DNA sequence: ATGCATGTTGAACGAGTGTTCAATAGCAAG
DNA sequence: CTTGCTATTGAACACTCGTTCAACATGCAT
């Protein structure tokens, strides 16, 4: 046990502080606002330490991307205490929750999307995370509506994600909350729609 | 008439070439890829000329923003040869047109959104353009469905924009085209829905 | 005590940045 | 031709950037 064991929740270790600082700067000022120096300043450490924990600036951004993707996946992770129907409904409503519609989180997502668009490497990570998210959502649909084919569940998940992405983006532009509420309802309608006629 | 009159469509004037170069670089590499030097290189002019036509790098980016906003507004500009119903339907389907779903255009929009999120000045320009776009869409709805109140038209426009933004964004992430098609249909359903019951 | 691994610092380097500006070219008016 | 205006060039400035690295601190094993 090192001397740091006393820090029960006092503050994160330096590496986490650096990552947190990078996320903060990225959400507030975009990628142009994230320099190794500004990250070091924000984290309260020396410049060299950033390069000690993260070889590259690229590695640092990659780590940030993974952090956000991880957070995204939690949104479609089922709560075992709920029924399949409630699990799905909860997941769909979560995207309008107070913690999610924070400017910080939405801004972060937006900047990471932009980053992925400009860089091949980030794009792959992003695409993989996107696929996992759709898969998670489709699984929730499949559990709540066992009669549906997997393909149909994926389709519904895709359609829902289109609306969800729209909500996230449009929230940043300041659309009224009533519209967000109606959009949430629309995702639920898609998710819980009766099985389509065959043929 | 100067000597340049001969250049009928040969090539744009230098100022336009500079703006075009900036748009191109922005869509391909994001804001980090847009330096005064790279813009000059891409436009085939000397470094100094960029600062001659645009005082700042900020002015240059602002001009780019205005260019794209102008382009966006055209999407909801009615074609006088069509009936109000056709005008609305055409506008809604245009967003899935080949020219719009180009990676270049979508990428541009994404980077500009990200930029607006990081900079107060750009944000205002963006918000104003967003409002004008919704207004244009609401007007199309109002013309096609004269019975609706203006507030109801604005609501429908807001809901449609959420889905449209979602389509634009999700196209970049590589969602399948069938989902885009269904989403287009969804915007039409919203636009042409029967008038809601009063009370 | 000595040695060693890990953590931490800030100076230094070369490359790239936005902006300024004296110099030049082209052309129309006098 | 001379004057004046606009367009165009590229060198130069001060600055920030990502990365490297020698130096120092800390704690643990020998």
pLDDT digits (tens, 9 = 90+) for B25-64: 999 999 999 999 999 999 999 999 999 999 999 999 999 9
Q: Residue A103 has what pLDDT?
A: 86
From the list A114, A158, A159, the residue facing B111 with the nearest CB is: A114
Q: What is the mean pLDDT of chain B?
A: 92
End-to-end CA distance of chain A: 66
Nearest CB neighbour to B161, from listed A155, A164, A170 = A170
The crossing angle, in degrees rounded to 10, of helices B36-43 and B14-29 is: 120
Residue B107, chain A, CB below 8 Å: the answer is yes
> What's the pLDDT tens digit per position in A122-158?
999 999 999 999 999 999 999 999 999 999 999 999 9
Percent of chain B with pLDDT over 70: 93
Does any CB of chain B come closer than 8 Å to the CB of residue A128? no
- Residue A116 to chain B, least CA–CA distance (Å): 9
What's the mean pLDDT when you consider all of chain A?
Answer: 92
Mean pLDDT to the nearest integer, B131-147: 97
What's the pTM value of the predicted model, to 2 decimals?
A: 0.92
Query: Is residue A80 within 8 Å of residue A36, measured between CB atoms?
Result: no
Provide the CA B49 to C1' D9 distance, Å, integer: 8
Q: What is the pLDDT of residue B9?
A: 35
Q: Give the pLDDT score at B102.
A: 84
Q: Is any atom of strand C within 7 angstroms of residue A49's beta carbon?
A: yes
Q: For the segment B65-78, what is each residue's pLDDT rounded down to a tens digit?
A: 999 999 999 999 99
Query: What is the predicted pLDDT for the residue at A102?
Result: 84
Res B195 pLDDT > 90: no
The mean per-residue pLDDT over the stretch A93-121 comes to: 92
Query: Is A178's pLDDT higher than 50?
Result: yes
Q: How many CB atoms lie within 10 A of CB A150?
A: 11
Token reading at A173: 């532009």
Report the nucleotide nearest the CA of residue B58, measured to C1'.
C18
C-alpha A53/C-alpha A76 separation (Å) is 31
pLDDT, residue B198, reads 57
Mean pLDDT of B116-124: 95
Whether B143 CB is under 7 Å from strand C = no
Mean predicted confidence (pLDDT) in A185-196:
95
Residue whose structure tokens are 């700042």: B56
> pLDDT at position A60, please?
98
B18 CA to D20 C1' in angstroms comes to 37
Q: Is the CB of residue B159 less than 8 Å from the CB of residue A179?
A: yes
Q: Does B65 touch chain A (CB under 8 A)?
A: no
Sheet strands (E) in chain A: none
Are A30 and B117 a contacting pair at CB < 8 A?
A: yes
Please write the tens of the pLDDT for every residue from A3-25: 333 333 345 799 999 999 999 99
By Cβ distance, the residue of B118, B164, B179 closest to A33 is B118
- CA at A68, C1' at C10: how many angstroms apart? 32
pLDDT in tens, A43-88: 999 999 999 999 999 999 999 999 999 999 999 999 999 999 999 9
Q: Is the pLDDT of residue B17 over 90?
A: yes
Q: Is B20 on the interface with A (CB under 8 A)?
A: no
Write down the residue that tokens 């990428």 correspond to: B107
User: Cα separations (Å) of A166 from A156, B152, B162, B167?
Assistant: 15, 20, 5, 7
Which carries the bigger pLDDT value, residue A195 or residue A40?
A: A40
CB proximity B175 to A under 8 Å:
yes
Protein residue closest via CA to C1' of C8: A49
Q: Confidence class of residue A174 from pLDDT cuts 50, 70 and 90?
A: confident
Q: What is the mean pLDDT of residues B144-152?
A: 97
Strand C within 7 A of B55 CB? yes
């Amino acid at each position: 046990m090192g001397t740091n064991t006393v820090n029960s929740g006092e503050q994160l270790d330096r590496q986490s502080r650096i990552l947190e600082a990078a996320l903060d700067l990225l959400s507030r000022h975009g990628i142009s606002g994230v320099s190794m120096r500004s990250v070091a300043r924000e984290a309260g450490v020396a410049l060299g330490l950033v390069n000690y924990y993260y070889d590259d600036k690229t590695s640092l951004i990659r780590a940030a991307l993974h952090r956000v993707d991880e957070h995204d996946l939690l949104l479609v992770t089922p709560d075992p205490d709920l029924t399949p129907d409630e699990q799905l409904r909860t997941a769909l409503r979560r995207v309008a929750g107070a913690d999610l519609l924070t400017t910080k989180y939405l801004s972060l997502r937006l900047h990471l999307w932009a980053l992925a668009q400009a860089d091949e490497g980030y794009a792959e990570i992003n695409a993989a995370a996107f696929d996992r998210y759709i898969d998670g959502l489709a699984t929730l649909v499949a559990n709540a509506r066992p009669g549906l084919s997997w393909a149909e569940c994926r389709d519904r998940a895709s359609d829902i994600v289109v609306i969800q992405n729209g909500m996230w983006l449009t929230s940043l532009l300041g659309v009224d909350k009533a519209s967000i509420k109606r959009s949430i309802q629309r995702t639920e309608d898609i998710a819980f729609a009766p099985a389509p006629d065959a043929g």
